[in-house]
Amino acid sequence: MLLVFSTSVWAVSPYIQGDAVPAGTVQAVANSVETKLKNAGFKVVGKYFPKDLAGHGVVVATDDAMLREVGASGGYAVLGAAIRVGVKANGSVAYTNPDYWQRAYLRRDFEKREPAVKAVQERLKGALGAGKPQGGDELPANLASYRYMIGMERVDSPKNKLAEYDSFNEAVKVVRDNLAKGVGKTSKVYEIVLPDRKLAVFGVAMNDGANSDGEWLKKIEMQENVAGLPYEIYVVGNEVGAPHGRFRIALAFPDVGMGQFMRISSLPNVIIETMSAVAGTDKKSTTDAWQ
């Protein structure tokens, strides 16, 4: 009993409930959240209303102080550049917990940068409120090397690499241009570029029928945690990559069981193919489905 109690106390959740705002259209709710974020000094870089998920949306923001930490850490830390706030037409709000996501993306650098992470978390609390945690939980010690199950991918999986170009600028241009063209039935939700650090991350909306973000989120019954969207593609130096589906989806929804993940058994392969198209290459996988 003591062990169970200790685990529950020290575990970290991916999302935090914010204070509700007046109900209305989901776009109006998103606008209310955008105003709160801007008033607190955050920069809003995109809004997303997933196809096939009526009444749900995501406001994406960033913060200069956090970007400095991400840039200094480099590499996969760029995945932690965005703060995502899930909203619903009924006025409910839930945002990504920096303490959870930055442990996973800053990894060994987290302890050194923890004061900055905590400062951002306090500012989010002031802007949006801080109610109950939601979305499941993980022990903090597990997040730096997180994987869903033995044998599955971590954040630094070599499978993440999709393409390589002659320069950082060329890699960014390819991704930006392909998203503008809607390659792979995608569209851009946001982009955050740190040119001096040669780091960039793009939020990618996947709009392809049964594999659209709204459809697969409903299949695993995670609509309440819409702040897990959108998916990312990133540029580090001259390489383009995307986190493997079996890592990124599980990290966003740690309380989802294998039975639920089997409902989207082909999605990791779909993600590889979709993000490869955005990266300007043709990469297929037939061995990394949920199984």
C-alpha angle 234-78-85 in degrees, rounded to nearest 5: 95
**pTM > 0.85:** yes
What number of other Cβ atoms are within 10 A of residue 207's Cβ? 18
CA nearest to 59, candidates 227, 199, 193: 227
- pLDDT tens for 155-211 read 999 999 999 999 999 999 999 999 999 999 999 999 999 999 999 999 999 999 889
Grade residue 285 by pLDDT with cuts at 50, 70 and 90.
low
What number of other Cβ atoms are within 10 A of residue 281's Cβ? 14
DSSP β-ladder status, 133-134 and 161-164: unpaired
Mean pLDDT (the chain) is 93
Q: Which residue has the higher pLDDT, 290 or 288?
A: 288
**Mean pLDDT along residues 64-90:** 97
- pLDDT tens for 195-221 read 999 999 999 999 998 899 999 999 999
Res 165: pLDDT: 98
